[in-house]
């Protein structure tokens, strides 16, 4: 309601400035207490207890400034990052575009972030009891040892992360997605797993939706062999589906939001078929309604994440989805959210 009134003002601002203002407001306004979640929404995934399956995707809070404020808005978990070893400016501005008519976003931010030392310092004070905070790690653009950058991310962030996400799927760091090829992926995941050791946080792998037909099976095979704890499907797409109406539709970068929905769901189904329940899947891409959450979970996702829909729906979205999801479970006589995971497979 309130967001409906302020949205026109926010949308008149440059998208990145509006985002910065949002982060500052979340950072300095009093934090809400963490809401009480309906018990039917809680489940254990990868050894962690998630009070709701609805999470905040990476990229919203790249620098770990507001994880606790976002948990207060009703997210069951929050993923900060992508964080790289060294601080990085990212690409030239403008690099973030709203595609309002398409309920979408295009970004070519290029991993702008404060670097792992600064982010670690910031989140080291937080109270972990407030909720689950994952840390998404990546490589610096000018790094000569990209795989080594992930190792540094694991060493630096493990003590503060409830889980780590290995992000090899951003389209905005040239060459990064090549780490999804089986040989490079095997080397990367082996190193990451060894560095984490037996007692570190669970590790998720985040993949792109732009995959060749046999990529999901190949990536899944490596992920399973490397004993990775989950796969996030997916990041933004470099493709531009037909029918986009917004003036910014042909900007370079990763497309997210509603036009990514069908593609991300298709990629999720391919990973579900390839992994057969042996590894938890986390769905992202165009999730905006309770039907989207329901479809992804029935298609094999244990958890979901969203970002772009927040831009259009405002800060009450996670709470609204929690309420609708709990009601749907009750209406259908289903005791717990875990019972619908993979029901369509």
Binding interface with ligand FMN (CB under 6 A): 57-59, 62, 81-82, 96, 105, 107, 109, 111, 136, 167, 170, 206, 235-236, 256-257, 260, 284-287, 306-309
Do 277 and 342 contact (CB within 8 A), yes or no?
yes
Do 76 and 53 contact (CB within 8 A), yes or no?
yes
Do 125 and 68 contact (CB within 8 A), yes or no?
no
Gap between the Cα atoms of 306 and 44, Å rounded: 20
Q: Is 170 a catalytic residue?
A: yes
Measured from the CB atom, the residue of 136 and 275 that comes closer to ligand FMN is 136
What is the sign, positive or negative, of the torsion defined by CA atoms of 328, 333, 338, 340?
negative
Gap between the Cα atoms of 77 and 130, Å rounded: 10
For 177, which DSSP code? G
Q: Which of 52, 143, 158, 170 is catalytic?
A: 170
- Could you tell me the smallest distance in angstroms from the CB atom of residue 226 to ligand FMN? 19
Measured from the CB atom, the residue of 40 and 123 that comes closer to ligand FMN is 123
CA 66 to chain centre: 15
Measured from the CB atom, the residue of 177 and 196 that comes closer to ligand FMN is 177
- Could you tell me the smallest distance in angstroms from the CB atom of residue 62 to ligand FMN? 6
Angle at which helix 116-123 crosses helix 146-157, to 10 degrees, equals 20
Phi–psi pair at 65, nearest 5 degrees? -85, -30
- Could you tell me the smallest distance in angstroms from the CB atom of residue 30 to ligand FMN? 26
Phi–psi pair at 324, nearest 5 degrees? -65, -35
Measured from the CB atom, the residue of 62 and 193 that comes closer to ligand FMN is 62
CA-based R_g, the chain, Å: 18
Show the beta-strand stretches assigned E in 143-298.
163-167, 203-207, 230-233, 254-257, 281-284
Measured from the CB atom, the residue of 40 and 303 that comes closer to ligand FMN is 303
Gap between the Cα atoms of 2 and 317, Å rounded: 12
Which are the catalytic amino acids?
170
């Amino acid at each position: 309601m309130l967001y409906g009134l302020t949205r026109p003002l926010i949308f008149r601002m440059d998208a990145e400035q509006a985002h910065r203002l949002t982060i500052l407001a979340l950072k300095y306004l009093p934090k809400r207490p963490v809401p009480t979640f309906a018990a039917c929404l809680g489940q254990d995934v990868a050894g962690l207890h998630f009070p709701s399956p609805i999470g905040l995707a990476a990229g919203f809070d790249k620098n770990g400034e507001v994880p606790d404020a976002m948990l207060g808005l009703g997210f069951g978990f929050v993923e900060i990052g992508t964080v790289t070893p060294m601080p990085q400016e990212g690409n030239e501005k403008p690099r973030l575009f709203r595609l309002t008519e398409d309920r979408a976003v295009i970004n070519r931010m290029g991993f702008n972030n404060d670097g792992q030392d600064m982010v670690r310092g910031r989140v080291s004070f937080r109270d972990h009891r407030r909720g689950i905070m994952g840390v998404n790690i990546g490589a610096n653009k000018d790094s000569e040892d990209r795989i080594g950058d992930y190792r540094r991310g694991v060493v630096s962030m493990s003590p503060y992360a409830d889980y780590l996400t290995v992000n090899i799927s951003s389209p905005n760091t040239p060459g990064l997605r090549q780490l999804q090829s089986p040989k490079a992926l095997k080397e990367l995941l082996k190193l990451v797993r060894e560095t984490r050791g037996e007692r570190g946080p669970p590790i998720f792998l985040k993949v792109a939706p732009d995959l060749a037909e046999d990529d999901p099976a190949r990536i899944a095979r490596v992920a399973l062999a490397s004993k990775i704890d989950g796969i996030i499907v997916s990041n933004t797409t470099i493709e531009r589906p037909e029918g986009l109406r917004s003036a910014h539709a042909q900007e370079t970068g990763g497309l997210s939001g509603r036009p990514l929905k069908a593609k991300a769901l298709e990629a999720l189904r391919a990973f579900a078929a390839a992994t057969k329940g042996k590894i938890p899947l986390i769905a992202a891409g165009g999730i905006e309604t309770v039907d989207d959450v329901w479809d992804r979970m029935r298609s094999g996702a244990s958890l979901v994440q969203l970002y772009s829909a927040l831009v259009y729906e405002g800060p009450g979205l996670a709470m609204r989805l929690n309420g609708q999801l709990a009601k749907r479970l009750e209406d259908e006589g289903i005791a717990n959210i875990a019972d619908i995971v993979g029901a369509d497979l």
